[in-house]
Structure 1
Amino acid sequence: MMLVAVYFSVISDAPLPRPGQMMQVQNDQPVQNTSYYEDLQEEKRAVMITWCFGGKRVAITGSWDNWKTREPLHSLGKDFIIMKMLPSGVYHYHFIVDELIRYAPNLPWEFNESGSAYNVLDLQEFVPEAPESLSEFESPPSPISSYDNQPLNDGDFSRPPPELPPQLQTTLIDERRFIIRSRKSLPRPSHTMLNHLYEQDGDDGQSVALCSTHRFLQKYVTVVLYKSLRR
């Protein structure tokens, strides 16, 4: 018997609504802004946001100003558009269509803690992940005197295998808190942990766990396979 567990960078337990589902405007505090920049001198980017699901009056509100203002969209044929200048960051927003809170299913969206859907605007600049220095992978050169032409003997084969590099000693499968935190976003793994296969025997000696982490653009996926040793 095998049990496979797949862990993504973002996990949500909220039910999935139908596309374009309407939610009545309430006085609940919306998602708290995590990307609001008070530094007006920061370079900004032009972003056009479009609503194409009908309505007579369409407005937008978002975390770029801590949900303080409601800006109307301009009608352009059957669509409504607005142009905004925003600094780099990740923003949450939703539309207000005829006094109903809506989200655009054709744009990136997520759930908040109360289970309501909102759109996500990601303006982060992509920086490829790379180690700052390769010195941690470099080993000191062996002394010249250690080289000879002697054939291998029994002592060479009886030596223990080399120790595991320190970069690979801490993995998600080794952390006891991993199971507890698995319902939330997992920590960002080190680049040295990617594309390796880890094995761990169960405490009862009756099972084994295999773990591997891979990167897809800016997302990380960890797969854990639990296998019973009993046939």
Structure 2
Amino acid sequence: MTPLCRSTQDFSTIINLNPGKHEYKFFIDGKWVVDENAAKTDNKFGSQNNVIAIDEADFEVFDALDRDLASSNAGEAMRKVNMTGAPPSSHDTPNEREIEKLKNFTQEIPDRREFEKAQNPPVLPPHLLQVILNKDTPMQCDPNVLPEPNHVMLNHLYALSIKDGVMVLSATHRYRKKYVTTLLYKPI
């Protein structure tokens, strides 16, 4: 038996299955139960099991995703939109905005010129330029103790300029009222 993990509304587990037909049922409150909404088959003990068929093609990620989309409500809605040109009226299908999002995704690689139009990343905010490792420690302080960091500096990865063939990375985390700065030194 494989136990299921409880989520907020449901139970789930992950099992690696080889291609072929696999039978299963659920053990709930001391009783064996089958899912009435899933495919079933008779077993050799005279009771029923749910059955799932795993094909070789299920291991091809994009093919499997296409099949899942085709069998889902979103795939049905896409087919109706493509055939009629008008969005479906059923409440089970996604709304028009979701259908538009689905239309934008393809397996085609965009033209290089589209990337050249992309904007540059934003300028680094000034408070992130004040890296603790670059600050001087006051003379009365222990040189091994860094000054208290600004709250916006927490959980960021910082890199010092490469000096003497050594690169330094740091990250500062808060644990209750204490700050822990981890330094990683890498010779280059």
TM-score (norm 1): 0.28
TM-score (norm 2): 0.34
Higher share of residues assigned strand? 1
- Which protein has the larger Cα radius of gyration, Structure 1 or Structure 2? 2
Higher share of residues assigned helix? 2
